Amino acid sequence: MKTEFAYRYAIYFIPALHSEWWAAGCHWLGRCAATGQTLKQPLIAGMDVQQFRLVTQEPRRYGWHATLKAPFELSPDASVASLLLAMQDLAQELPAFDLPPLQVSTEGGFISLRPVGDASAIASTAAACVTRLHGFAQPLSPADGARRRQTPLTPAQDQLLVQWGYPWVLDEYQFHLSLTGPLRSISDVDRQALVQAAQMQFETLPICRFTHIALFAEPVKGADFQWLQSLELRG
């Protein structure tokens, strides 16, 4: 992929490549964003294989991650090389840390992993990515602004959208690793089966370390996001 010509880029948290956490998430979603390889997903009790693949379709496209800076188009004045240099400088200032325990949640109408406990280190890291790297993003277009406002926003969220190009940042930020897309069309029984399977897959893993920030790219509009590079945090 010619990264200089990708449609969009994003700054993500991902578990260390080749770690238990990376393998567990990639197999759950059915794709490794680092290799592009399609992976066999776990079997969910009572759920058809194709149905499970369908409910994980949305997060599979974005890759196994938690968003730090949401997908953006690169400014014409910037380059991937300059973005990576800025990410490297930022990573050298930010300390690595243990994530709080991650628990399965159905908040927002989809299944995800969310931290339980002190999330201040996560919040400050995400805020640094949003504010320090914002100059590399093209300004929000009127069309993108209108699309974002199709989801009702509070006045505070709208102001964040105008200033930072995304409404769920800074005080509105909620760290999560998505395990499914919206679950409006599945039964309560299937939803509970998914929750139980996710708990078995993830809540038994050791503490997850936040050791890198990662650059992902969407090569062309609608394509699967691909891992480009991870930048190691300090200490």
Which CATH topology does 3-232 take?
Cyclic Phosphodiesterase; Chain: A, (3.90.1140)
Question: d(Cα 173, Cα 123) in Å, to the nearest integer?
Answer: 7
Question: d(Cα 234, Cα 97) in Å, to the nearest integer?
Answer: 9
Mean pLDDT by 10 residues, the chain (235 residues): 76 97 98 97 93 97 98 94 97 98 97 97 98 95 88 94 94 98 92 97 97 97 97 92
Q: What is the pTM of this model?
A: 0.94
Query: What is residue 5's predicted lDDT score, i.e. its pLDDT?
Result: 79
Query: What is residue 2's predicted lDDT score, i.e. its pLDDT?
Result: 43
CA distances from 53 to 11, 50, 169, 225 (A): 25, 5, 29, 17
Query: What is residue 4's predicted lDDT score, i.e. its pLDDT?
Result: 64
